[in-house]
Structure 1
Amino acid sequence: MRIALNATNIFRSEEVCGVGQYVINLLNGFDQMGCLDCFRIIVNPEVRKVFERELPGLRAKNAPYPAFLDRLRWKDGFFRQLYIERRSVPSFHRQEKADILFHPFMAQSVSVSKPSRTVVTAHDLFLRRFPDQLSKRYYHMLDHSYRMTLLGATRIVTPSQFVKNDILNYYPEVPGEKITVIPNPVAINLTETTPYNLPTPYILSVNAIRYHKNLITLIKAFERIYRLIDHSLVLAGPAIKSVSNGIAQYIEEKKIPKVFITGYLSDTQRNTLYQNAALFVSPSLCEGFGITPIEAALFGVPVITTRETSIPEATQNLLHYYEPATDDTRLSEKILDVLQKEPDPDRMRSIQETFRKAYSPQTIARQYWDCFLKTLEVD
């Protein structure tokens, strides 16, 4: 079996997070299976730089496109990506004579790949749940693109049953039988750390600073209790400027001390923060899977998160939860409650082992491989 992998839209910079981390973890899983040579990979310039750093020796081909498209920066290079997916990727697929074209994200133009067998990963339907976070024009463009992609794909993979249900709810014309649920792979090297100087003890949140990550609720909860605890609050992750500016302004106006915003961190720096955290909190409103609470638990850190969307499913109801997600009073009470209790080491080890077995890259890669084989059987 030969698989053409479209990796052209998994990074928009050299910062590895989200979909990009998922693809790297998945490729590592295929490598552990011994079948990485079955993949033919097409990338854009940003992805190539990251792959050379994270996956040395991996062979990939640059996607050709007209140079002037680099000057059209609307929506993170929307038009460049549209050209690549309509022209470069289908051409690459034909040249490689691949059996399957795999888009590990919601590609914009799956329909032009027909009659190829295509597998698409739909990570979430953020645009449907938070339409007011997009302009009307961009929302309608994406909504149309999503519908065409979901209808055009031979098989759809979702990281949770929740996302599958979302697709069937918002796009009822999509046949449910062609949707396969496969969790995201989670890979953490517990021994690879880089020193990062922060005062301890601290409460940690690793999330992109975006609206739906709901970090303002965590800030308000910390505001209620910072006088009662010795802990600082550390927010780590890449930021959308408008959201991070709003958070910084709130912290300044309310004069909340002991809050550290690190920005994007490397994997080894992030591991150091996990390793030394007293508590991890993820107050997210919407996740297709939700990887960071699982990562923190793998480090043996107590975790508080929400019961929103796919989070209880992905975390298997094994962590600490509070609700409603936007209630900072409830969150502050839960933080105090968890901090006052000594973690049960046997329970923490059990959670670690459960997540390690369920979400190891090789385990998830095998499920994808089975999905690819079933896709080949489709008439």
Structure 2
Amino acid sequence: MRIALNYIYLEKSHSGGKDQVGLNLLKGFYDNNIISQMCVICFEYSVKTIESIAPGIKIIPIKYKCHSTKEMHRMAYLTWVNTVIIPKIVKKYSIDKIFHLGCNNGLVKLKCTSISIPFDIKAVAHRVLAHVKIPFYKYIIHKIMYYIDFKNADTIVAMSDVDKAEIAQYYPKFANKIRRIYCPIKIELKNIKHQSKTTKNIVALNLQFHHKNIITLIKAFELIKDKCDYNLLLIGKVPQRVSYLKDYVKNNHLEQRIKFTGFISEDAKNKLFQTSALYVNPTLYEGFGMTAVEAIILKIPTLVSRIATNYEITQGLCDYYEPAEDEHALAEMLLKCLKKNYDNQDLDKKSKLLLDKYDYRRIANEYYKLFVS
């Protein structure tokens, strides 16, 4: 049996959780010694990354010919590759099963078993988030795209029970195809010590999108800044679409207490996490929500918005606040968490529970069982 991992969805620069799921999964396959039946289809710019994670795996590279940085242009290009190029690869290499690391799987049903993970259907199920409405043309394109993907797929992977229920609600015709498999987490705990949390930092990650709701965290911190000696550290890129975050900080003279790191490596991120007093995720929507899980595994006190996915994925093991967009509710919980004495043994226990549940090797084995079933 030949299993193809369609990884053309990986981007040139790290795009966050979606890429990390694919790379963690690949590492799990490699560490479980099950790559002999597998090959990876990817654009040429991803070859070195794939080789470094899974040495020896068969790689089928495709030359990347989309030079536009516009979202819809890349989307159209992926549609073309999956419709024209991938069927030829399936035939040439006698692929029996293919796993698509993302939505937009092409316009034709492949002549092999097809498994797809759409990474949520937010564009259809939550057209308005953080007071931002997805343009009608994008909504229609995504609605049709998901329908075609789900129609042509043999199995649809949902990242959580909430994600599974949402797909079934909006695409009931394909509900029997959905299989829930949680996302793989890969974290080394060997050097994690409780006493290493020495800085006076509150940290948050994932600033790139409106629905991450970082503006509520900034406003909440503004309310408590004179009541504590902690600073707020915001990790990640700040693209133009959320430039208002920096504008708010500047206009309200908060630059001395709120810092933006820009993009940093995974290792640098983990080091900042490990020395921080509190991790906060005020998101309005998640399909899974890796960073909160990672924070708990790293034994960091964690505070998240009490939306359905966050509560499911964190298993009720951290602190929560609601409503998600209420800066006063968040400010109140921030102060409570900063004053709280967290028990190290309790943090250890929670860390182990989530590390075992989402361990990348265990999740990779669950995927493999799906592939060979």
Structure 1 length-normalised TM: 0.90
Question: Percent of aligned positions with the same letter in both sequences?
Answer: 29
**Partner amino acid for 1:167?**
I
- Structure 2 counterpart of 1:267: 266
**Residue of structure 2 aligned with 1:247, choices 232, 245, 264:** 245
Listed as ranges, the matches of 1:120-135 within 5 Å are 120-128=116-124, 129-131=126-128, 132-135=132-135
Contact 2:24 2:184 in 1 (8 A): yes
Distance (whole Å) between structure 2 residues aligned to residue 360 and residue 184 of structure 1: 9
What is the aligned residue count?
364
Question: Please, which runs of 5 or more residues in structure 1 have no aligned partner?
Answer: 194-198, 375-379
The alignment partner of 1:310 has SS state of helix
Distance (whole Å) between structure 2 residues aligned to residue 53 and residue 192 of structure 1: 23
Contact 1:160 1:181 in 2 (8 A): yes
Distance (whole Å) between structure 2 residues aligned to residue 72 and residue 291 of structure 1: 26
Question: Is 2:28 the counterpart of 1:29?
Answer: yes
Contact 1:43 1:63 in 2 (8 A): yes
Distance (whole Å) between structure 2 residues aligned to residue 72 and residue 238 of structure 1: 16
Cα-Cα RMSD:
2.1
Distance (whole Å) between structure 2 residues aligned to residue 343 and residue 301 of structure 1: 9
- Structure 1 counterpart of 2:93: 96
**Partner amino acid for 1:97?**
S
Distance (whole Å) between structure 1 residues aligned to residue 170 and residue 86 of structure 2: 28
Distance 1:209-1:70 versus aligned 2 partners, 3 A rule: closer
**Partner amino acid for 1:251?**
V
**Partner amino acid for 1:369?**
Y
- Cα deviation code 1:195-218 (max 9, x no counterpart): xxxx93100011142101000010
The alignment partner of 1:60 has SS state of strand
Distance (whole Å) between structure 1 residues aligned to residue 139 and residue 57 of structure 2: 35
Distance 1:148-1:27 versus aligned 2 partners, 3 A rule: same
Contact 2:38 2:57 in 1 (8 A): no
Question: Is 2:331 the counterpart of 1:332?
Answer: yes
Distance (whole Å) between structure 1 residues aligned to residue 350 and residue 155 of structure 2: 32
**Partner amino acid for 2:312?**
E
- Cα deviation code 1:68-109 (max 9, x no counterpart): x43584536223222211112221122111210110211331
- Structure 1 counterpart of 2:115: 119
Contact 1:200 1:232 in 2 (8 A): no
Question: Is 2:159 the counterpart of 1:159?
Answer: yes
The alignment partner of 1:82 has SS state of helix
- Cα deviation code 1:304-348 (max 9, x no counterpart): 001214111111111100001011111111111011111111111
- Structure 2 counterpart of 1:10: 10
- Structure 1 counterpart of 2:195: none
- Structure 1 counterpart of 2:232: 233
Moved over 6 A (4+): none
Question: Please, which runs of 5 or more residues in structure 2 have no aligned partner?
Answer: 193-197
Distance (whole Å) between structure 1 residues aligned to residue 207 and residue 85 of structure 2: 30
Structure 2 length-normalised TM: 0.92
